[in-house]
Structure formats: structure tokens, C-alpha cells
């Protein structure tokens, strides 16, 4: 196996002399972590797993090893050829002869060292049964190389004097989040539709069987129309002030958390205490005004609050984030911190127009909100989470800065209450969730019951 010299015990201090700094620079020029013998053993396992040893082929690939994780380019070529053969047919023989033929077809046989090198890889395998262990060694070395690459990016940017401390922090957090999440950003060839087909069929079967793919919003009719919340997508909940958009979003956050999702609710409008009061009211059927005024709770009410503490709050994977400022970078930083911790499946931002971004002197408010919307969309993709972004409607019932927000959203829900302007309306206590955009289904209107004294919305069937 290849060996790597140990890292220096400590980095040079600010007072280090020139020779020490030169030695440190040489340390960074060392050969990156790699194990060529393990790489040969993986390829040899894949080319010798036939007959009774067939299962070692699948077990080795199930480690998740991909061509881009090999240090030697020739090994990556061989791996791609092997996978190309198997993709053609499960019955296709994978051995040095067939792999050589596939490499010849690709014009790469000479680049990898010829057919003799393929046989050398097979001979380098101590036992095919250890194929998964060899693959894990290769992946671990690739991970270390990616960590070094991330560290070098941080060093180069820090030394460049570009940007400010917030830009440096953002880059550091992005790189560390990727490494901590096990996604070091290794370059990989995008999958073909043939590679995606089996996953597509599996998801299609789940859809046809009526299984819920997305996380629940907490309203069955809304889940049915939108197929729930999915990673990498944004739901915009828009409403005028006082209609209940924060309540709807908080209900959805709790419902997703109850389903096991890791959720962060970032509020720029309500305090942590107000959010806790709303959750307690909704989950304990406690009148909200009893929780907000002196002497409002009865002994039974206190018992319910204590029960919620034991049975709900102590186990619910829901985090409440009240940033010191309204900057988008702070929300992004908190979200990445969640990913590095327990993970993050749903991020709620209440609300878009309050979030601030750095902008040029000549930019207007619409451009600023568009930057926030685009930033949250990018964050949902980078962190593979679903984002619920609340948006304020103006007096005409139109979403402020609506064009950019709608473009970035997968689902846009406009909340309307018929009894807002007509207290005597025969539809008092109802709310219409007008789905103005829906990438996963039709545009529709879902009617729910508005029990705002309990700070919750319910399916009409439940009332």
C-alpha cells in the first residue's frame, strides 16, 4: 500500500521564520492521499466476480464507489468501462477480455496500459470477498483529497483579500457543510437516462400505489394536490397581513417534524415565545388568548402544557431560529449549521420581504427581493431541503415583487379568508388555499377550516 508522510504537528505561527514557512509550503505540495493497490484490488474484484463469487461484484458497487473517486485516471476509465458493460446487460460477462474489448471500442485500451494491465489488476486481488473493503479504502482516500481541495479553496480565497469577512465565512460554511454531509463535491460524470431509469420506475410505482412521496403540509387535500414537500423545491405561501400565513407555515413545519423531518423555522416577525405559544395552542387545543394573558390558563390548561412538554416538545425535531439581523447570509449560516448537526429537511422563512441582502446602490427593492428568492432556491438545492417562504400581499391582493418569487417557486399558495371583509359571510371560519402554481399537479383551490383561536388550519372533513 502507498504511504503518506505525517502532517506537521502544528501550522507555522505568525512569527515563524522564512525557512519554516518554506517547509510548510512544501508540505502542501505533497502527493495527495491515494492507494493505488486498493484501486487495483477494486477493479480486479469487479473483473473476477463470476460464478459463485458473483455477489461480490454487487456488494463492491453498493459501497457507492464511482469512477471519479479513483486517483489514477486509467483506473477511472477501467471502472467506467466495467459499469458500461454491466449496464448493457446483467448477463454480460465482466472479465479482462470483455473489459479490454469495451475499452478498445472506446479508444482507451492503450491509455490504461493495455490488456496486460487488466490481468495485472485481477492478479492483485488477495480475495474478491474483500472487494467492499477495498472500495471503502479508495473512497476514504478520495474523501481526504476532497477535504484538502476544500481547504485549499478556503486558503486561496482568504489570502486573496477579496470580499469581506462575510464572504469568507460563507465560503468556509459551504465547503465544511459539503464535507460534513459526506458530499465533498467530487467531479462526476452526470448520469444518463439509462442510469436513472430504475430509480424512476421505483418512484413511479410508489406514486401509482398512492404512497406519499413528499413531506406533509398537515392538510390532506393540500398534500394530495401538491404531492407534499420535496427536497430542492420552494413553496411560497402568500397572504395579506392577519390572514394566517404564518399559522399555515407553522402548522406545516410541525406536521413535517411529526413525520420525522428535521425542520428549522426562521422567524423575522415573531419571537420564539410567540411561536411556542402558537404550537402549544394548535397541538393542545388551548385558546391562544389564554396563553398570552395573565391568569388565562386553568389547572387543566397547565396539565396540557406539561403533557406537550413530555410528549411533543422534547422529541419534536423542530428548531426555531430568531436571527439577530434580517440578513440572508445569517439564515443560510444557521441552515448549514443544522445540516452539519442533525440534518435539515424543511426550512421555513417568515417572511421574504423582511430578509435583507447586500445590494448595489442602484438596485431597487424588487431586485433585492428577487435576490432573496433566488438565494433561497439555491439553498434548497445545495442543502437538499424543502423551503417554505412566506410572502406579503399588497392591498390589491397581489404578491409584492411577484415575478421573481413565482419563477423560483415550485408551488405558490395564496391564502384567502372570505370572512375577512364579510364577518357575516356564510363561509365564516373557512379559508381558501388557492394554488396558483403547482409543478407537481393541477392548479386548484383547497378549502380548509380556519381555527385561528387555536392557531391552526384543519381539513374540512375533520371539522
The CA distance from 254 to 250, in Å, is: 6
* Mean pLDDT to the nearest integer, 290-308: 88
Of 4-8, 116-120, 123-127, 396-400, the one with minimum mean pLDDT is 4-8
pLDDT tens for 60-96 read 888 889 898 999 999 999 999 998 888 776 657 889 9
Predicted local confidence at residue 14, as pLDDT: 39
Is residue 16 predicted with pLDDT exceeding 50? no
Domains of the chain, each with CATH number or no CATH? 36-138 (1.10.860.10), 214-462 (3.40.50.300)
Instruction: Give yes or no for a contact between 127 and 48, defined as CB atoms under 8 angstroms apart.
Output: no
Give 218-274 as a 3 state SS string: CCHHHHHHHCCECCCCEEEEEECCCCCHHHHHHHHHHHHHHCCCCEEEEECCCCHHH
Q: What is the average per-residue pLDDT within 432-438?
A: 92
Torsion of CA 19, 24, 25, 27, to 10 degrees: 130
What is the predicted pLDDT for the residue at 22? 47
What tens digit of pLDDT does each residue of 341-364 get?
888 999 999 888 888 776 555 567
Distance between start and end Cα atoms, the chain: 68
- Return the residue matching grid coordinates 471503502: 136
User: What DSSP assignment string belongs to 78-125?
Assistant: HHHHHHHHHHH-TT---SHHHHHHHHHHHT-TGGGT-HHHHHHHHHT-
pLDDT for 365 beyond 80: no
pLDDT on residue 212: 59
- pLDDT value of position 8: 34
Parallel/antiparallel/unpaired status of strands 386-392 and 234-239: parallel
Of all residues in the chain, what percent carry a pLDDT higher than 70? 85
Enter the C-alpha cell of residue 358.
447586500
At residue 17, φ and ψ (nearest 5 deg) are -80, 175
- Please give the backbone phi and psi of residue 324, each rounded to the nearest 5 degrees, phi first: -70, -30
Note the pLDDT of residue 164. 76
pLDDT score recorded for residue 2: 37
pLDDT digits (tens, 9 = 90+) for 117-176: 999 999 989 888 889 899 999 998 988 888 888 888 888 888 887 877 777 788 888 777
Cα separation, 446 vs 54, in Å, equals: 53
* Conformation bin of residue 51: beta by default, left when phi > 0, alpha when psi is -120 to 50: left
Closest CA to 130 of 195, 49, 9, 202: 49
For residue range 231-286, list pLDDT tens digits in order.
999 999 998 888 889 999 999 999 999 999 999 999 888 888 899 999 999 998 99
Across the chain, mean pLDDT equals 82
Please determine, for residue 189, whether its predicted confidence score (pLDDT) is greater than 80: no
pTM: 0.62
Reported as a single tens digit per residue, the pLDDT across 194-222 is 878 888 888 788 777 766 578 999 999 99
Answer whether residue 403 shows pLDDT above 80. no
Amino acid at each position: 500500500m502507498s504511504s503518506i508522510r505525517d502532517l506537521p504537528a502544528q501550522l507555522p505561527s505568525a512569527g515563524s521564520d522564512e525557512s519554516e514557512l518554506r517547509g510548510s509550503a512544501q508540505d502542501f505540495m505533497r502527493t495527495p492521499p491515494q492507494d493505488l493497490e486498493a484501486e487495483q484490488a477494486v477493479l480486479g474484484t469487479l473483473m473476477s466476480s463470476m460464478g459463485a463469487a458473483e455477489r461480490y461484484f454487487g456488494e463492491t458497487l453498493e459501497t457507492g464507489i464511482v469512477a471519479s473517486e479513483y486517483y489514477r485516471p486509467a483506473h477511472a476509465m477501467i471502472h467506467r468501462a466495467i459499469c458500461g458493460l454491466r449496464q448493457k446487460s446483467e448477463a454480460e460477462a465482466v472479465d479482462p477480455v470483455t473489459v479490454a474489448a469495451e475499452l478498445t471500442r472506446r479508444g482507451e485500451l492503450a491509455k490504461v496500459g493495455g490488456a496486460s494491465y487488466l490481468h495485472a489488476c485481477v492478479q492483485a486481488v488477495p480475495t474478491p470477498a474483500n472487494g467492499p473493503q477495498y472500495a471503502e479504502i479508495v473512497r476514504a482516500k478520495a474523501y481526504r483529497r476532497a477535504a484538502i481541495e476544500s481547504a485549499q479553496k478556503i486558503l486561496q480565497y482568504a489570502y486573496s483579500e477579496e470580499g469581506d469577512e462575510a464572504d469568507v465565512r460563507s465560503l468556509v460554511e459551504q465547503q465544511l457543510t459539503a464535507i460534513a454531509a459526506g458530499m465533498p463535491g467530487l467531479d462526476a460524470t452526470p448520469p444518463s437516462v439509462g442510469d436513472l431509469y430504475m430509480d424512476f420506475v421505483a418512484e413511479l410505482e410508489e406514486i401509482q400505489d398512492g404512497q406519499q412521496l413528499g413531506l406533509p403540509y398537515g392538510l390532506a387535500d393540500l398534500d394530495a394536490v401538491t404531492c407534499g414537500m420535496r427536497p430542492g423545491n420552494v413553496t411560497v405561501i402568500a397572504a395579506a397581513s392577519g390572514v394566517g400565513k404564518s399559522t399555515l407555515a407553522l402548522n406545516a413545519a410541525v406536521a413535517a417534524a411529526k413525520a420525522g423531518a428535521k425542520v428549522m423555522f426562521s422567524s423575522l416577525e415573531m419571537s420564539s415565545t410567540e411561536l411556542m405559544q402558537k404550537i402549544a395552542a394548535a397541538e393542545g387545543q388551548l385558546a391562544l388568548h389564554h396563553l398570552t394573558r395573565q391568569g388565562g390558563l386553568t389547572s387543566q390548561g397547565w396539565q396540557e402544557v406539561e403533557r406537550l412538554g413530555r410528549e411533543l416538545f422534547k422529541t419534536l425535531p423542530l428548531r426555531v431560529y430568531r436571527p439577530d439581523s434580517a440578513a440572508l447570509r445569517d439564515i443560510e449560516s444557521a441552515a448549514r449549521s443544522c445540516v452539519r448537526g442533525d440534518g435539515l429537511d424543511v426550512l421555513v422563512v417568515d417572511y421574504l420581504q423582511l430578509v435583507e441582502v447586500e445590494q448595489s446602490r442602484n438596485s431597487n427593492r424588487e431586485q433585492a427581493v428577487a435576490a432573496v428568492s433566488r438565494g433561497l432556491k439555491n439553498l434548497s438545492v445545495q442543502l437538499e431541503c424543502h423551503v417554505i417562504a412566506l410572502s406579503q400581499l399588497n392591498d390589491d391582493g397581489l404578491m409584492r415583487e411577484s415575478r421573481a418569487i413565482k419563477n423560483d417557486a415550485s408551488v405558490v399558495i395564496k391564502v384567502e379568508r372570505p370572512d375577512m371583509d364579510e364577518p357575516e359571510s356564510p363561509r365564516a371560519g373557512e379559508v381558501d388555499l388557492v394554488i396558483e402554481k403547482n409543478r407537481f399537479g393541477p392548479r386548484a383551490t383547497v378549502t380548509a377550516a380556519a381555527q385561528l383561536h387555536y392557531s391552526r388550519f384543519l381539513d374540512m372533513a375533520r371539522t
